[in-house]
Copies of this chain bind each other. A is one copy, B any other.
Amino acid sequence: MSFNIELIGFLAAVLTTVAFIPQVYKVWQTKSVSGLSLTMYLIFFSGVFLWLVYGLIINSLPMILGNSITLLLTSIILYFLIKSKGTN
C-alpha cells in the first residue's frame, strides 16, 4: 500500500515536470512567447524554487530532482518571455 502511494507521488512528480518540455519545445521552435503570461511564469518559478528549498530541507530526492528540472525548464520559458518584453 505504502509503495503504491509513493508510486502515485512519483508519477505525479514526473508528469508535472515533463509537462513543460512540449511548451519549451514550442517556444524554442517558434521563437515566440505570444499568448504566454509572464506573470504566471514569474509566480510559478518562485513557487517551484520554494518547493526545491522545501525538498532540500526535508531531504526528499524526488522533490529535489523534479523541482530542479522544472526550474530549469521554466527558466528557459522565462528567458524568452523577458527577452520578448525587452524588444516590445
Minimum distance in angstroms from A64 CB to a CB of chain B? 13
Question: Which A1-57 residues sit within 8 Å CB-CB of chain B?
Answer: 5, 8-9, 11-23, 25-27, 30, 32-37, 39-41, 43-44, 46-48, 50-51, 53-54, 57
A38 nearest CB neighbor, chain B only: B22
7 more contacts with CB within 8 A, not counting A5-B54, A34-B34, are: A11-B47, A12-B54, A16-B47, A17-B47, A23-B37, A27-B35, A30-B35
Chain A contact residues: helix, strand, loop or mixed: helix
- Listed A/B pairs (12) with beta-carbon separation below 8 Å: A9-B54, A11-B50, A13-B47, A14-B47, A15-B47, A16-B48, A19-B40, A20-B44, A23-B36, A23-B39, A26-B35, A34-B35
